Every structure is written in structure tokens, then in C-alpha cells.
């Protein structure tokens, strides 16, 4: 397999050898930086997830009230791209209407912990204009946030899902900012019922890891086909979650997708073993899980550090293998340590950053990722992670210094990235 040369003196920093964040940082710092910033190589990109926070978290102190400040800080940390929620169901219903959004949770710092009012357009186009000014590329996705009328439940067919996204792209095109968009993920973590309750799988119990059913594949193919007719230059995908194991990488083919977007965490390993030991159960309006994380999370990790790191790196290596089997590139925007975290007493960021550094480097070594995130906490609301500017810069430098397999360079995703980087 032909590959572009990968200059990485940190190749030995793998599971069992990364003993501290400092060690990871020293290894990253040694990486030579290729001239990607000069426009010679527009990938891999360093990407982060700003989901629905970019629009919802605009009250004083929430982190996104000043888009220019947030984007400036993002670029300062070395990131090139963001993945955001375009609220397609709300644009499809009425793009300029003000909607009352209901909280998906109160325990997490993504989005609003209480009711909020949002107006998607013209705010989306205004935000994309600021992204263009800061040279930040944008991947679109949706968590299909719940409003007081639950408009998302009107998306009862693949046709309507495709039409909703077509309404988004047309509104962006009409605003003259389509050149900021480098891909569309039609649904976050398809087929999870938290994000797409309008889709009932066959069988109906195939929820979070049911993306390989025939019904799921048909919905993906039919909805994407609508978009390709009008905007064939944009790459399309559906993102997935769940443990990356031998069973997961046997799924496919997914020829309707232009690339794969798996979300990969250490906590998914071995059937979610880490969270089971900790006693964390994704509580959305109850802090029991976070109390257990504060009491047990770091201890359980450090007692079997090599085991948990191995669980992360194995999943990354399998995802790379899956990419090779499908002959499709990868983007990962949610990753590498734990799924949920925030700034709270007794919740330390050190071991989270250690896992995230390990995962970032491991993904960068494979040559299969065209955009890599350092975590799913890379936003101004996660102060403990955001304020460590040097940590971010070392990792984004490592991403930019890595390579992409030559057999991915003619993929729709790589072509789009080159096109909008001109």
C-alpha cells in the first residue's frame, strides 16, 4: 500500500508506554511539521465538535456568545475544522422561525441545560461567514434537537430526511457560504433513538448499533441520493457509535457513504466495562453517575492503565482495518477517553487528556483518517480542557504532520477538502 511519508518520532508512544501527559507532550513536541499551512496538503484536518452549542450556548459565560472570540481561540489551538448541528428539521419547517428548544439533559455541558429559544437562519449563515473569516472548515451534522412541538417527528421517510437536508444546503448556498462546508453527516450516531426517534428500525430493537440493517441502509441510500442530485460535490455520511470490534468491522458494505465517521472511546471497550466498574449509566438529569466518576473513575483507570489504553488502541487499529476493508477514509469527531465529562469538583482532566493524546497519536499513525479530533470536549465551555493551549497545539501539530494513504487521495472527501482549500 503506497503511503505518503509519515514523520513521527512518537511512533513508540502506544498503550503501556505513555505514562503521563508530560511524556505524551514531549513526544508530540518532537514531531516535524509539514507545510500543510502553506496549502500544500489540506489533510488531515484537526477537527472538533461544537454540535448545537454554537447556537444554544450564547448566554453570558456560556462560551459561544462571541463567535469571533471562540473561533480565534480555536485557531490559536491549531484546529482547522468544526462539526456543528445545522438543525435541518427546523430549517425544513421554517428557517427563520424562533423555536423553543427543550433540554436533552441537565448534567452535560453540550447545548443548553434548560429551555432556550433559537432561530437557525440567518444565524447559521452568519456563523459560517465568521468561520470563513477564520479559515475554519465546517462539517454539518444533526442531533435533531427537540422543540416544544417535536418537529423532528415529521421526518417519517428517507425522502423527508433528504429534503430537510436539501433545504439546509439551499439556504447556505443562497447565503453564499457553501464553500465553507466540506461534508454532511445526515444524522449523529445513527440509529440511536436519542437522536433519530423518527426512524424505527427493522427489527425495532436494533437501535444504537443497528446501522447495518437493510432498512437502515435503504434510508441512508435514499436520503443521500436526494442530496447528490443537487450537490454532488459535497461528501455525505451517517456517523455511528458503539464498540469497534471484529463484529463491527464485519458490517458493510456502505457504498452510499463517502467516508466512515465512527465515534471511538476507551469506555466502549469490552461491552462498556469501564463505565460498569465505575457505576456511570449516562444519567441525563441525575448526577449519580458523575458522583461515581468523581469517586472511582481515576482510580479504576490507574489500577489497570495498560489494559484500558490497550482497549482504546485496539479499537482504533480495528477502525483503520475497517477503513481498509471498505476502501473508505475516516473522520472521527467524538473520541478517545470517556464519553461524558465536565468541570466539577473531584473530576480531574489529567487522565482524560492522557487517553485523548494516546488516541489522537494512534489514529494519526494509521494513515486512514482525513480529519481527527483530540476529544469531544474541545470547546470553550470545558474550561479544564480548553485552557491548556499547549496541549492542544502539540496534538494538532501531530495531526498536521501525519500522512494519508495514497489510495484515499482521490476519494470524494479528499477532493472536497482540496477544492475548498484553494
Q: List, for residues 404-418, the tens digit of each pLDDT value.
A: 999 999 999 999 999
pLDDT value of residue 43: 85
Cell numbers 452510499 correspond to 256
CA pair distance 155, 165, nearest whole angstrom: 11
In a domain, 6, yes or no: no
99 lies in a domain?
A: yes
Quickly state the pLDDT bin for 190 (edges 50, 70, 90): very high
Grid coordinates representing 149 are: 412541538
The pLDDT score that the predictor gives to residue 411 is: 95
Q: What tens digit of pLDDT does each residue of 66-81 get?
A: 999 999 999 999 999 9
Question: How far apart (Å, rounded) are the C-alpha atoms in residues 205 and 313?
Answer: 29
Residue 5 lies in a domain: no
C-alpha cell at 281: 449509566
Cα–Cα dist 24/326, whole Å? 31
Average pLDDT over residues 363-391: 97
Dist CA 114 CA 97 (whole Å): 20
Q: What is the span of the domain harbouring residue 268?
A: 21-420
**Is the pLDDT confidence value at 195 over 50?**
yes
For residue 139 the three cell numbers come to 462539517
Q: Among 68, 56, 69, 166, which residue's Cα sits nearest to residue 120?
A: 56
Q: How confident is the model at residue 1 (pLDDT cuts 50, 70, 90)?
A: very low
Q: Is the pLDDT of residue 267 over 60?
A: yes
The better pLDDT of the pair 3, 248 is held by 248
Residue range 323-339: average pLDDT?
A: 97
How many CB atoms sit inside 10 A of residue 176's CB?
A: 12
* Within-domain flag for 1: no
Is residue 367 within 8 A of residue 5, CB to CB? The reply is no
Q: Is the pLDDT of residue 170 over 80?
A: yes
Asked if residues 166 and 227 have their Cβ atoms less than 8 Å apart, the reply is: yes
* Three-state secondary structure call for residue 65: coil
How far is it, in rounded angstroms, from Cα 253 to Cα 234?
A: 20
Is 14 part of a structural domain of the chain? Answer: no
Specify the CATH number for the domain of residue 133: 3.20.20.80
Question: What is this structure's pTM?
Answer: 0.92
pLDDT at 11: 32
Residue 76, Cβ neighbours under 10 Å: how many? 11
Please check whether residue 4 lies inside any domain of the structure.
no
DSSP character string of 237-273 = E-EE-S--SHHHHT----TT-SSBEE-EEGGGHHHHH
Residue 404 belongs to a domain: yes
Q: Whole-number mean pLDDT of the chain?
A: 91
State the average pLDDT over residues 308-323. Answer: 98
Cell 429534503, residue located? 163
Bridge partners for 100 per DSSP: 117
Residue 95: is its pLDDT beyond 70? Answer: yes
Residue predicted with more confidence, 330 or 10: 330
Please compute the mean of the pLDDT values over residues 361-366 and round it to a whole number: 97
Q: What is the mean pLDDT of residues 298-315?
A: 98
Q: What is the pLDDT of residue 41?
A: 66
Question: What are 6-51's pLDDT values in tens digits?
Answer: 333 233 333 333 333 333 334 444 434 443 344 456 789 999 999 9
Question: Is the pLDDT score of 343 beyond 80?
Answer: yes
Which residue in 167, 315, 161, 145 sits closest to 238, CA to CA?
Answer: 161
- For the chain, what percent of residues have pLDDT higher than 90? 89
| Domain tally, the chain | 1
Q: Above 60 in pLDDT, residue 160?
A: yes
CA distances from 78 to 66, 133, 393 (A): 19, 15, 5
With cut-offs at 50, 70 and 90, classify the pLDDT of residue 212.
very high
The answer as to whether 8 is a domain residue is no
Amino acid at each position: 500500500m503506497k503511503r505518503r511519508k509519515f514523520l513521527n518520532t512518537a511512533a513508540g508512544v502506544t498503550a503501556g508506554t505513555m505514562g503521563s501527559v508530560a511524556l505524551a507532550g514531549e513526544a508530540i513536541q518532537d514531531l516535524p511539521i509539514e507545510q500543510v499551512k502553506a496549502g500544500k496538503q489540506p489533510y488531515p484536518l484537526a477537527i472538533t465538535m461544537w454540535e448545537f452549542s454554537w447556537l444554544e450556548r450564547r448566554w453570558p459565560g456560556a462560551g459561544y456568545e462571541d463567535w469571533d472570540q471562540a473561533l480565534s481561540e480555536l485557531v490559536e489551538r491549531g484546529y482547522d475544522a468544526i462539526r456543528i448541528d445545522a438543525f435541518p428539521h427546523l430549517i425544513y419547517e421554517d428557517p427563520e422561525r424562533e423555536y423553543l428548544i427543550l433540554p436533552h439533559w441537565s448534567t452535560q455541558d453540550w447545548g443548553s441545560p434548560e429551555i432556550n429559544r433559537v432561530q437557525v437562519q440567518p444565524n447559521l449563515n452568519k456563523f459560517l461567514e465568521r468561520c470563513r473569516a477564520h479559515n475554519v472548515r465546517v462539517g454539518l451534522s444533526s442531533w435533531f434537537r427537540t422543540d416544544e412541538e417535536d418537529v423532528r417527528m415529521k421526518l417519517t421517510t428517507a425522502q423527508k430526511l433528504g429534503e430537510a437536508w436539501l433545504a439546509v444546503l439551499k439556504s447556505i448556498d443562497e447565503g453564499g457560504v457553501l464553500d465553507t462546508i466540506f461534508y454532511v453527516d445526515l444524522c449523529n450516531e445513527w440509529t440511536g433513538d436519542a437522536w433519530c426517534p423518527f426512524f424505527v428500525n427493522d427489527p425495532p430493537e436494533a437501535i444504537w448499533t443497528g446501522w447495518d440493517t437493510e432498512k437502515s441502509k435503504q434510508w441512508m441510500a435514499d436520503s443521500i441520493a436526494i442530496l447528490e442530485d443537487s450537490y454532488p460535490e459535497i461528501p455525505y455520511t451517517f456517523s455511528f457509535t458503539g464498540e469497534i470490534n471484529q463484529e463491527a468491522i464485519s458490517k458493510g458494505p456502505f457504498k452510499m457513504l463517502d467516508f466512515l465517521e465512527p465515534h471511538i472511546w476507551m469506555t466502549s471497550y469490552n461491552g462498556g466495562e469501564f463505565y460498569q466498574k465505575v457505576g456511570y449509566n449516562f444519567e441525563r438529569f441525575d448526577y449519580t453517575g458523575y458522583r461515581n466518576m468523581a469517586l472511582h473513575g481515576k482510580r479504576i483507570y490507574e489500577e489497570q492503565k495498560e489494559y484500558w489504553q490497550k482497549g482504546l488502541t485496539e479499537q482504533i487499529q480495528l477502525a483503520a482495518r475497517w477503513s481498509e476493508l471498505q476502501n473508505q477514509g475516516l473522520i472521527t469527531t467524538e473520541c478517545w477517553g470517556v464519553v461524558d465529562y465536565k468541570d466539577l469538583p473531584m473530576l480531574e482532566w489529567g487522565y482524560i487528556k492522557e487517553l485523548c493524546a494516546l488516541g489522537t497519536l494512534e489514529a494519526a499513525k494509521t494513515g486512514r483518517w482525513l480529519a481527527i479530533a483530540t476529544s469531544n470536549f474541545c470547546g470553550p465551555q470545558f474550561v479544564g480542557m480548553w485552557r491548556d493551549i499547549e496541549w492542544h497545539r502539540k496534538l494538532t501539530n501531530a495531526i498536521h504532520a501525519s500522512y494519508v494513504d495514497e489510495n484515499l487521495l482521490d476519494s470524494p472527501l479528499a477532493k472536497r477538502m482540496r477544492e475548498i482549500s484553494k
